[in-house]
Amino acid sequence: MSKTKISFKITRAIFYLFLVLFNYSFLLANTYVSGTISVNTIWTAGNSPYIVNGNITLNSGVKLDIEPGAVIKFGAGMQLNINGKLTAVGTEEEKIIFTSWKDDSAGGDSNGDGSASVPAAGDWDKIYFYGGGAAGSVLENCEVRYGGSDTSWGEVAIDRVGGEGVRIENCEITDSKNYGIREYASVVEILGNRIERAVHGIAAEYGSGEIKGNEIRNNAVWGIIATITGVKIRGNTIIENIAGGIISQGSSGEVKNNDIKNNGVGIYCSNTTSEINFNNIAENTEGVKNVTSDKIVNARYNWWGTADGPSGVGPGSGDSVSDYVDYEPWSDKSHLLYANFAVKEGYFTNQQDITLLLYCIGADEFIVAENPDFTDALWQAFVPEKTFSLSAAEGAHTLCPIHLMLRQWFGDENGAKMANINKILSNCAIQRAEQHSMSAKRQADNLRYHVLSFFRRLKPAATSIKPATTKQENILVANYIGIQNTGKSETGNFYGDEVLRTIITGRDKPCGYEIVQAGHWDLHIDSLMWAVEIVISYIFRDQLFELPEAVNRNSIEKFGFKRKEEPLYFSIEERIARGTA
């Protein structure tokens, strides 16, 4: 045998050995899972990727915890059936990924074919939450890609049938075969997700719950389908969905404070009693279309893209409305839907809605923004009830103020007339809407006796008025002390006025526990208006015992402080719940 032939055989043997070793290491790199999970189980990032090569069922009463950074990849048609409690909570930096095993961008080349295959919508089936046993399950900071292969169940990536108590939050659900999320005869919280490149973003059928703060865009047909449901659709961005933003069929929920733009039909209504208020509905092919003559749709207080109102049967040039739509009055300005607020690092990073009742004699308009210069914010008609959602950005080092200014117009172009400062200030009050022991008006009357003396001592004078630091022109600012909610910073200092703090936490409670913190009230003066600026800063600690003993704990709880095991919600949606134009 020649040396050339021997060399060729040795080279070929080494090549085959390399292939064997490569495939062996490839098998070792994957964790294969299938079958029934009957004991509490944890899937870790270190053992990822998990390859689902057979359907998985999580038994009722059993927990499956998935750690941040874990990758779960599904073979063709495979699904994860949740009859127990699934907790899949990632982080912004380490999301949990559910995807096709053809997806080499997560967990590597799991099917070992190099670039021969690419992932596509419907590569695997779904995550399926079923019945009461799945209550308490959470998907948070996850990515769900390429799901929805089961044609018999509507080709859904995330499915919830029956029961309640499932939360899907801050997830990205993309490239689903038909539906990104479906809830059927159940109660689901769908909060702050991004859902795109499906046929339909979300379907809510025969159930209830909340769809809030999501970005639903670029879906082939509908953004949201609401069928015979009481679901609340609030504060979402619904854009660029080809057929339309929302279709409401036989539903009785509410559609409020959403940004609905660049869709086919903004909202299509059939046999619905849903309330459609305080939305931005603009730049759609049609605005609101109602095809049921015996049910008039309440679509008041919306912004239709122009100050002169909706077109169609409406008088203006904005998005159109059809017959059987009550569109008056409308807003002549775009609603401010979002303001990004933040709290200090180490504080809760969930979200909480804070509904406030506002009372101020003579207030005509309000403006709300993240910063005191009120950039990118618009004046809106004053309404007595507001819901603010505060959000804590992870790692942020600032408090979370809401800058809310109320104003009353007066005088002529030269500001010849003046307003009564005591009337404006002494009758302005803020009240938590959840607490009804005292009306906002009565609270304002009580406030007058305890706060007016402070205002009188600080009446504007040449020495107390200073140039404005805001970007608004021709405004002078005089600071006024307001009622403070008490919190504790990381350094132990109070945020609040030590003198006025007793009004809230002491034995003398002229306003009960109704007062909500207003950092300070500023009187803004220009040639045309008085305005009161109210800065509301919420400072929540992880545990009540970290608050000083001098603070009445019961009062703190009534202001919204809760123990760590009771999650706080404070996200960034700013919405008007009710009101008059």
pLDDT in tens, 255-309: 988 889 999 999 999 999 889 988 899 999 999 999 999 999 999 989 899 989 9
Residue 438 lies in a domain: yes
What are the CA-CA distances from residue 254 to residues 170, 234, 358 (Å)? 22, 8, 22
pLDDT of residue 403: 55
Residue 457: count of CB within 10 angstroms of its CB: 10
Q: Residue 314 — pLDDT band, cuts 50, 70, 90?
A: very high
Task: Kindly state whether residue 40 falls inside one of the protein's structural domains.
Answer: no
Higher pLDDT, 182 or 419: 182
Range of the domain at 511: 351-575
SS3 446: helix
- pTM passes above 0.85: no
Percent of the chain scored above 90 by pLDDT? 40
Q: Is 418 within the bounds of a domain?
A: yes
| Residue located via tokens 């007016």 | 452
Each residue's pLDDT tens digit, 195-223: 999 999 999 999 888 998 899 999 999 99
Query: Is 379 within the bounds of a domain?
Result: yes
Q: Please check whether residue 208 is in contact with residue 228, taking contact to mean a CB–CB distance below 8 angstroms.
A: no
End-to-end CA distance of the chain: 99
- Residues whose CB falls within 8 Å of the CB of residue 15, separated by 6 or more in sequence, listed in order: none
546 within 8 A of 487, measured Cβ to Cβ: no
Nearest-angstrom CA–CA distance, 318 and 332: 10
In 307-383, beta strands by DSSP E: 310-312, 318-321, 325-326, 351-359, 365-369, 380-381
Of 187, 231, 227, 233, the residue nearest 205 (C-alpha):
227
**pLDDT score of 23:** 47
The total domain count for the chain is: 1
Determine how many CB atoms are found less than 10 A away from the CB of residue 553.
13
DSSP 75-104: -TT--EEESSEEEEE--SSS-EEEEETT-T
Please tell me the distance from the alpha carbon of residue 42 to that of residue 122, in angstroms, as a whole number.
27
Alpha helices in 379-514 (DSSP H): 421-426, 440-457, 501-505
* DSSP class of 26: H
Chain segment 150-175, per-residue pLDDT in tens: 887 789 999 999 888 899 999 999 99
400-409/529-538 β-pairing:
antiparallel
Q: Is residue 564 part of a domain?
A: yes
Of 17 and 77, the one with more pLDDT: 77
**pLDDT tens sequence across 369-413:** 655 555 556 667 766 666 655 444 433 333 344 555 655 544 333
Alpha-carbon distance of 350 to 347, in angstroms, equals 9
In a domain, 244, yes or no: no
More confident: 493 or 64: 64
CB 261 within 8 A of CB 252: no
8's enclosing H/E stretch is helix 3-29
Q: How far apart are CA 380 and CA 302, in angstroms?
A: 12
Are residues 437 and 525 in contact, defined by beta-carbon separation less than 8 angstroms?
no
Torsion angles phi and psi, residue 130, rounded to 5: -125, 130
Q: What is the DSSP code string of 213-228?
A: S-EEE--SSEEEEEES
In a domain? residue 569: yes
Average model confidence (pLDDT) across the chain? 67
Residue 230 lies in a domain: no
pLDDT, residue 376, reads 59
Q: What does the pLDDT average to over 344-371?
A: 51
The more confident residue out of 228 and 563 is 228
